[in-house]
Structure 1
Amino acid sequence: MPSNVAKYLKFPYVRVPKRANILILLLLLLVSAATLSILFISHMHVKNGTKPKRQTAVLVQESQFMLRDNKTGRLVWDMKEMKRLHGTRRPVHTTSRIPAMAKIVQNKRSMGAEQTNQVKFDKYFKMADPRLPPLSPSWLAEREAVFEQRSNRIANVCRAYDVRIGRGNVTSRPGVGPVERINGDHFVSVPALNVTACLLAKVASTSLLSTLLRVTGKEVPQLEGNRTSLHAAAGALRLPPSQLGAMLHRSLTVLLVRHPLRRLVAAYRDKIAGRPNWPMLHHFEFLKFGSAPKSQLGRELRDAEMQEHRREALSRDGVPTFGEFLAVALLGDRPLRDAHWAPYWRYCAPCHVRYRMVGQLETAGDDLRYLWHALRLYYWVQIPWLHRSRPEQQPEEGLQSLADTYLRPLERPIMMAFKREYKLDFDLFGYDWAGLMRMSGHCVIGDTGCDLL
């Protein structure tokens, strides 16, 4: 006769020995318990908004990159990077201790990708057969001391100016000082060389960018066809925000600067002078003359001044003067921002990104020599100068001549705007602001009460 279990299972033609009844019941109970456990776990994951992941043993190495407010020392961003040493790929865990600040996005680069890039670079680099020149340890130590002195000066000036860091409309703390913002599009990185640089226009950026592109095997566009194509190609050297934080922490960070007035004049000569720009002139007219007055006499006087300005602009073929260019770039509700004349503090955030090498174009012979040595580029890629604005034999124009030509004719409101935008750069990198104001005639020697000092 069929057993009780067989009857329960509705298999009337199956005969099960009585001694197996207990084993079958136990098996059914185990299967039911396992099914209920799986359903319960799946329900909890769906309820919590997470999905179960396969657990794999992995050995990780954690490194931390923190951004602190330069004055209070309070933690602004805390980025933790988890690098895979063994096992499967492991994402980065990023935390933020300021809820109002947006989180730095996560780093997902695996160690395998880094090793692949390094192998490709080593193969390409080996073909060049680099030979380092004999640089004495004392000379290297002297340059490193100079870079450390420059970094310390930047830190002290940032605290004195109460420079804050911001993201969107949120800043690290209340205040009235300048606000820096870190923009990933302003940095180029070469992980194979372990270098990250903020390259501004008119500071040997074209030469250095072409070198980094050539080193990494990227195609270097020709400048004759499209002068902006080289900087457009720099996108190949930009890292996503998920990787930029880690590179700023562990790589050689480089910033090159030059005298702010020289850079501003170079940008004006290269981008503004020598070509008509009527939209800029119309913008200047709106800033200077404003909207039409309500009275008839006021409108007539305004129109007469505008007609006089337009006749004068026609006499120079619609080319804006340096004063008109500065007024449009610095004044008004919407000043004309551009990377070619943006101040260093606004573009590269030197108060919140600690640059291990701050080079100056005035000492480029030694600074670039040190950089080429640190990146192992000697006798492989020579230091290029692709975008010279003057022949090699022509000496650089003196500051007194530049001050007389470009600053002395400026009106007081434009000079005050020039001070608000660029004086921080002068103090950060050790350029003489007070001396320039006296050279330009806007402040008298010995007059400590000048509002431009």
Structure 2
Amino acid sequence: MMKNTPCPKTFFFLPQHWCDWSLKTRSTPPPAAVTSDPTHDPPPGHKDRPQGRGSRSPDWPQSQGRQRGAEPSTQSGRRRKLQEPEPPVRAQPREAAERRRLREVQQGRRRRVAQACRRYREAGGPRLLAPHHVSRIYVEEQYRLLYCEVPKAGCSNWKRVLMVLGGWAGSTAQIQHKAAHYGNSLRRLDSFDREGMWLRLRTYTKLLFVREPLERLVSAFRDKFEQPNAYYHPVFGTAIIARYRPNATQEALSTGSGVTFPEFVRYLLDSGRPVGMDIHWEPVSHLCSPCLVHYDFIGHFESLESEADSVLRLIGAPGNLTYPHFKDRHSWEERTSPRISHQYLAQLSPSDRHRAFHFYQSDYAMFNYPKPAAILD
């Protein structure tokens, strides 16, 4: 049995059991949160958990579960069923070893986030959860899953998975890009009232997938500025060219097309940037508030294929549902990789490379990504 460890003070608003997520299955409800702020007491009736298909505790299950046969139709058969319970299904050695490995990896990742958040709190970071902190979290009611959207870290396909889990589509291949991002199938956590938000944060599995920060930045630039885009070119592109390109042509100023990566990074690093932050390059530490929402599973984009399917098995998703890996936008273009990322970062001056790294320093610290080779050059 795992030894309980105290919740980091950063998470004082959150239940203790989130800091001791283990392979065991609880038979009692999680303890109530303790806080000195009366406005953040658990709402009345917080023990009444929403019910749904496949609902389960956000713990690692002991086994994947199995299909039970039909119950005996006679009274004697039912009695015999009670008197002779079936032995529990034991995981195969390879499955058990993989589950232990996953558990250890997740414990290490959550511990790393907690350590970074203690420093963040000491530096004056927010301590109380507000609706805007969960505005990027999507809710899947049937399987009791909360997923924080991180653009350029597999979010399009995760939304497809949520839609299939919720019964909005039969398979992820049926869901077009626009339907995944602009449809009305998925609901955000901040759309619930305070009691509904609290209840789901306490009882649902909370999922976050992250990506190497500067590689994610390069991916966002390639997607939004190197391809035709009816929003990012006229809104961001025109402002970037006007501010950071001397002697820009009238065509560039009017269309916003042709933004270079160095120009884009200058905009990113400018505290007086002409247009605001965007979720495609906002740090995950701000986007998903991991110092206020204690995520049960922190996945890495670099091992997305195996970790995403592990999540689906852990929440009891249908066996035929796997995480999709198709690319339905700019499918002809090579995916952003460490090699491609290095090529783009090499376009920057050494000073701008280091400043870009420091812009995402909280993400590097929280999610244990090493300093990129382009920064070390």
* TM-score calculated relative to the size of structure 1: 0.57
Match of 2:199 among 246, 250, 275: 246
What does residue range 15-414 of structure 1 map to in structure 2 within 5 Å?
69-70=9-10, 75=12, 97-98=36-37, 106=43, 111=48, 114-115=50-51, 117-118=52-53, 136-162=95-121, 171-172=126-127, 183-218=133-168, 222-223=175-176, 228-230=181-183, 233-235=185-187, 239-275=192-228, 277-285=233-241, 287-288=243-244, 306=246, 308-310=247-249, 313=252, 318-334=257-273, 335-387=275-327, 398-404=337-343, 406-411=344-349, 414=352
SS at the partner of 1:359?
Answer: strand
Tell me the distance in 1 between the aligned counterparts of 2:296 and 2:176. 31
Indicate yes or no: 2:357 matched with 1:419: yes
Measured in 1, the distance between the counterparts of 2:214 and 2:296 equals 24
- Give me the whole-angstrom Cα distance separating, in 2, the residues matched to 1:275 and 1:98: 49
The alpha carbon displacement at 1:183 in A equals 2.2
CA gap of 1:163–1:287, structure 2 versus 1, over 3 A, is farther
Paired residue type of 1:359 = G
Q: How many matched pairs?
A: 318
Which whole-Å CA distance do the structure 2 matches of 1:110 and 1:153 have between them? 31
Measure the CA separation in 1 of the matches of 2:277 and 2:300.
23
CA distance in 1 between partners of 2:50 and 2:234 (Å):
50
Query: Per-residue CA shift, 1:277-331, capped at 9, x if unaligned?
Result: 255344235544xxxxxxxxxxxxxxxx83x3337958x9832112222333442
> Per-residue deviation at 1:345?
0.2
Tell me if the contact between 1:151 and 1:358 (Cα under 8 Å) persists in the aligned partners. yes
What amino acid maps onto 1:198 in structure 2? C
Question: d(CA) in 2 for partners of 1:165 and 1:108?
Answer: 33
Note closer, same or farther for the CA distance 1:280–1:382 as it changes in structure 2 (3 Å cut).
closer
CA displacement at 1:192 relative to structure 2: 3.4
Q: Does the 8 Å CA contact 1:189/1:197 hold for their aligned counterparts? A: yes
Unmatched 5+ stretches in structure 1 = 1-65, 80-92, 122-128, 174-178, 289-304, 442-453
**Which residue matches 1:125?**
none
Change (3 A) 1:69 1:213: same
Q: 1:186 to 1:241 in 2, by over 3 A?
A: farther
Counterpart Cα distance in 2 of 1:156 and 1:430: 11
Q: Contact 1:267 / 1:341 at 8 angstroms: preserved in 2? A: yes
Seq. identity, %: 18
Contact 1:188 1:197 in 2 (8 A): yes
Task: Give the AA of the match of 2:144.
Answer: N
Give distance in 1, aligned partners of 2:131 and 2:122.
11
Offset of 1:402 from its aligned partner?
A: 1.9
Spell out, residue by residue over 1:227-286, the C-alpha distance to the aligned partner (whole angstroms, 9 max, x if none): 7324x5322776444222332233322111121222222222222222372553442355
TM-score, normalized by length of structure 2?
Answer: 0.67
Q: Is the 8 A contact 2:113 2:366 kept in 1?
A: yes
Larger Rg: 1
In structure 1, give the amino acid aligned to 2:185. A
The residue type equivalent to 1:190 in the other structure is E
How far apart are residue 151 of structure 1 and its match?
Answer: 0.8
Aligned residue identity for 1:183: H
RMSD of aligned C-alpha atoms? 4.3
Higher relative contact order (CA 8 A, sep 6+): 2
Contact 2:146 2:206 in 1 (8 A): yes
In 1, Cα distance between the equivalents of 2:143 and 2:154?
19
Q: Deviations over 1:31-70 (max 9, x none)?
A: xxxxxxxxxxxxxxxxxxxxxxxxxxxxxxxxxxx99742
Can you list the C-alpha shifts for 1:193-238, whole angstroms capped at 9, x where unaligned?
A: 23222121221212122222222223588426667324x5322776
Equivalent positions of 1:426-445 (< 5 A) are: 426-433=364-371, 435-438=373-376, 441=377
8 Å CA contact 1:194–1:251 kept in 2: the answer is: yes
- Aligned AA (1:337): M
8 A contact 2:238–2:257 mirrored in 1: no
Displacement after TM superposition at 1:157 (Å): 2.3
CA distance in 2, matches of 1:184, 1:149: 24
Higher-strand-fraction structure: 1
User: Aligned in 2, Cα 1:114/1:96: closer, same or farther, shift over 3 Å?
Assistant: same
* SS of structure 1 residue aligned to 2:187: helix
Q: What is the alpha-carbon distance in structure 1 between the residues aligned to residue 300 and residue 203 of structure 2?
A: 23
Alignment match, 1:32: none
1:193 counterpart SS class = coil
Question: Tell me, what secondary structure is at the counterpart of 2:185?
Answer: helix
Kindly state the Cα deviation for residue 425 of structure 1 after the two structures are TM-superposed.
0.9
Note the alpha carbon deviations across 1:350-393, whole angstroms, 9 max, x for none. 1232222111121223312321211122423232235456769x
Cα distance in 2 for partners of 1:403, 1:181 equals 37
- 1:430 to partner: Cα distance: 1.7
Please state how far the C-alpha of 1:103 moved relative to its aligned partner.
Answer: 5.2
What whole-Å deviation, never above 9, does each CA across 1:165-205 have from its counterpart, x for those lacking one?
A: 76xxxx449xxxxx998523211223432322212122121
- Residue 130 of structure 1: CA displacement? 7.3
Task: For 1:185, give the aligned amino acid.
Answer: S
